[in-house]
Structures are given as C-alpha cells and as structure tokens.
Structure 1
Amino acid sequence: MLITSLPRPKPAWEFMDLTAAPVNGPVAFGDDLRPQSLLSAYRQGLFPFPADSIEHQFLNEMSYEPEVAAGRVKLLADSKEPYAVAWCSPDPRPLILVDQARVQRSLRRHLRSKTSWTTTVDVCFERVASQCREGRSERWLTDELLASLCRLHECGYAHSVEVWDDGELIGGTFGMRIGAVFSADSQFTLRSGAGKVAVAELTRRFAEVGGVAIDVQHDGDHARLLGARPVPRSRYLELLRTPHKGSALPTGPQPARRLAD
C-alpha cells in the first residue's frame, strides 16, 4: 500500500530541462538524497551516482567544474557538498521492452534443471539492495542512498525481486517503479544465472500488470545480454510521463522454471 506522507521535494528536478544535457556522464551535481528528492529525480529521468569518498568528490569537481562553469552540467543550489552526488540521464537509454522480451535460450536450458529455484517480490528489499553492494570497490550505493531507497520501498515506490534455492537467497535485483517504467538499479548473483533470472522474472511480472519497459540504466554487453536495446532519451522521458494505471506487482512465490516455457 502506498504511503503518501513524503514531503514535497524542492522543485529543482521538476523544472530541469534535459534537452541539451550531456549524453554521457553526469547531467547535474547535488547532494540531496532525501527520499522525496530521489523519487522526483527518477520521475524526471535521472538516477544518482554518489561519491563513496572525499577523494571521489574532489575528482568529480576537478573533472566537471569546467562543464558546470559553462552551464552544460547543472549544479543544484543549497548543496553543502555539491559534488557528492552525480546525477545521470544517458542518451540513449537501454530499455527492455516487456512485450518484446525473450529469455535467452541458454538461460531457458539452465532453468529446466533448477526445480528448487523460486522467485518472489518485495520479500527482503533491504537484504537484496545490501547484497548488491557487497564486494564492489566503488560503493555508489552509500548508506544514505540505501536508507532513502528503503524508505521509498516502505512507501511502495521501490521494489525488489528475489531468487531462492530451497530457501537460500541466491540472486536478486531492485529498483524504482515510475508508472509504466521500472528503473532497475542493480542486481547480484550468488549462483550462476541467478541475477539474470531476477531480471527476467521482473520483466515477466511487470508485463503481467501492464508495465511497458525495464530501464537497465547503463548500456553495454551485459545490458544487451539481458535483452536491452538503446532508446532515445526523449522517448524514455515520454514513457515516464505517460499516464499509467497498472496494478501492483504480484509478490507471491513462483517456480523459476516457468521462465523456460
């Protein structure tokens, strides 16, 4: 159930024009990771990449200060540590269009033998998100960002998909649902193929409730293996603004083998 008690965000994101924003790298810097600001940013087609150290903040400033001075990259007002968080909106955007999504043949073969694997939604959001940052040297999923995401999960905006093997968590993914789009932030895998299963299950369940696209944020070989294809940022922003009355994601357990059908 949605909780509608989040305070109104500052208007910085609501009036940000991405028409001439950089196609790669940050489009803005600012340190506001409060839940309401984070939700507003996702609604405007941005996602955060926080610096995990003071050194990283200095590197952001040294690398992008000329772009900020020229007005090509925005610097949000009222930031105490303005280079603490880079905000990104790539162009093009890698999307899995759910009505065209297909599970890879190799993954289908893999799943046919996994009779003990099951999937769920929103059973342990914080555990999935925490697992996604384990062992990563550049910990963009900082404590502050994790806390805000957990709050947004409590409010019904952020969701996780879990993959289990006989009750053991072996993979998962999480992200933010904005109308007809689900922006998937990260995934983890403890057993071969489990992370891909989580994304495939997210795609299946999102399609079942009228979702249109899964945004995997970062293009590359891994995104293409998941079935993502580049879509112009302008089209992505249109999808975010399209009215959508889809129902809630089903949360109950499902056999992972169903993805092999």
Structure 2
Amino acid sequence: MLIASLPRPKSAWESLDLTTAPAEGPVAFGDDLRPQSLLSAYRQGLYPFPADTVEQRFLNEIGHEPDVATGRVKLLAGSKEPYSVAWCSPDPRPLILVDRARVQRSLRRRLRSQVDWTTTVDVCFERVVSLCREGRSERWLTDELIAGLCSLHTCGFAHSVEVWDDGRLVGGTFGVRVGAVFSADSQFTLSSGAGKVAVAELTRRFAEAGGVAVDVQHDGDHARLLGARPVPRAEYLELLRSPRGSSPLRTGPRPARRLAD
C-alpha cells in the first residue's frame, strides 16, 4: 500500500473542538479504526483506547453519559458501536523534546555493560506491537487496532524501534509519526532497561531526522523517567500543525551503548 493511497478528506476529527474537552479521560467515542481515520485522529492530537470487552464498553457508556449528553465528550458520527473505542487527548501532554533529551545515569551505566545490544528501526513492526500487548490486563491493542496500525506502517506513517541482545529481541516501542511529532503508543521490555533503551533510541533517531518531540501520551513517574515534561494541549496541537516535517528514520543496526555517550 502506497502513502498516496491514504487520502486526506475532511474528517469528523478535523471539526472536533477540544477547547472545552476534558483534560483527562476520553474526549470522544467512535468505532472507526480504519487507517485513514486513525491517521486523521493522530493529526488532530488524539489517540485510541479500544475496549476489549462488552463490559468495558458498557462502563464507557454509563460512566461518560453525562458528558456526552452535554456535548463535552463527542460521539463520532456513523459509529455503530461508538463506546467500543475511546479517543483521548490529555491536557497537559507529556513530551520528550528531542533537543533536550537526556539518558538517565543508571541507564547509561547499564548500556556500557551491554556490549551485545543493538537497535534497529522497522525490522519487525507487527511483532513489536504484539509483544507490547502481551501480559496487559487491559488489552487495548485489539486485533482491529493492530490491523489499522500495521496498515499505517505499510504506508510509512507508523514505525517500530527494536532492541536486540545478540540477535534476540529484548525490547521495543512503536508509534505514529505526524510531521515533527512522533506519538509513541507503547513499549515492552524482556530484559531490564530494554524498553527505556528503545524510547531513547527513538528519540535520538527522530532528532537526527529533524523531529521536534516524542509524545509518550501518558504522564506519570515512568514518563518523567524517560525525560518527558508536560506541555499544554493547545501548545501540543500547534506543534502538530507546524509545517515543519522530518526526513525518514534511519533503519539500520546501531550499537545501543552509543546512547551512553
């Protein structure tokens, strides 16, 4: 599938006003996870959180009914099961600004001892996404969402970073690139520190490609340890609209220990 095969018609996301949208939790509900809809949502500063059970869909409906009734949370037109997918746009948004990114001292020490660790980009996207899903109590990475993300990967919009230990995959992360922003959806770790290495490598390679920020979506202690800092949603949306783009990520293998320098 070519990038040109994903047109940019005006979508429901482009008319979504986030001015009065909740700072936490869903800002909209809608079941469209086709690649065109996914990409439009990311371009407007949203990311999906599908419900993997009927019970979770029911909780979405009863829990957010008051905000839907007042219009504070929107329902996407044309949805058959709108509460099956929540769409989020937190305020503030945790961003790693690539020109200020730093690798933690403890992670640098670990990197210096891992002489066999290497990193790559886009070697096994679907495998990275599948490993990010394993062991999660909430399986928000549903089959339908994974299919949509894999289509975006084929089109050149979604990417993965892999961490290898002497040929064995031990960590990784993936997400969607929108111009100067990379929205990192999830990460996995099979060897201590490997997930953090994947995010650090993503940040380094994205900086080299002319990117501005890596969005880690969920604020908290883990995000801060990765170097993320909260940015107001309005500022994040302006960054998404910036005409500044980025060149392709370099995909070849590199020694992970270079991140410790």
TM-score (norm 1): 0.98
Rounded to whole Å, the distance in 1 between the matches of 2:170 and 2:232 is 34
Residue in 2 that maps onto 1:99? 99
State the AA in 1 paired with 2:228. A
Letter of the aligned partner of 1:11 in structure 2?
Answer: S
Percent identity for Structure 1 against Structure 2: 82
Is the contact between residue 211 and residue 245 of structure 2 (CA under 8 Å) also seen in structure 1?
A: no
2:108 is aligned to 108
Q: Tell me, which stretches of 5 or more residues in structure 2 are unaligned? A: none
Question: Runs of at least 4 residues of structure 1 off by over 3 A?
Answer: 7-10
Alignment-derived partner of residue 188 in structure 2: 188
Structure 1 residue aligned with 2:165: 165
Counterpart position of 1:86:
86
Contact kept? 2:161, 2:198, Cα under 8 Å: yes
Residues in 1 aligned to 2:233 and 2:105: alpha-carbon distance in whole angstroms: 30
Q: Distance in 2 between matches of 1:27 and 1:92?
A: 14
Deviation at 1:29, TM superposition (A): 0.4
Shift of 1:3: 2.1
Q: Which runs of 5+ in 1 are unaligned?
A: none
Match of 2:177 in 1: 177
Deviations 1:108-142 (A, max 9, x none): 00000101000000000000000000011110000
Find the residue that maps to 2:171 and give its secondary structure: strand
1:168/1:249 CA distance change after superposition, 3 Å = same
Structure 1 residues 178, 10: CA separation in 2 closer, same or farther (over 3 Å shift)? same
The answer on whether the counterparts of 1:196 and 1:226 sit within 8 Å (CA) in structure 2 is yes
Matched residue pairs, number? 261
The corresponding residue for 2:143 is 143
User: Per-residue CA shift, 1:174-230, capped at 9, x if unaligned?
Assistant: 000000000000000000000000000000000011110000000000000000000
TM, length-normalised to structure 2: 0.98
Classify the secondary structure of the residue corresponding to 1:184: strand
**Cα distance in 1 for residues equivalent to 2:40 and 2:76:** 14
8 Å Cα contact 1:31-1:80 kept in structure 2: yes
Note the 1:209-228 alignment, pairs <5 A.
209-228=209-228
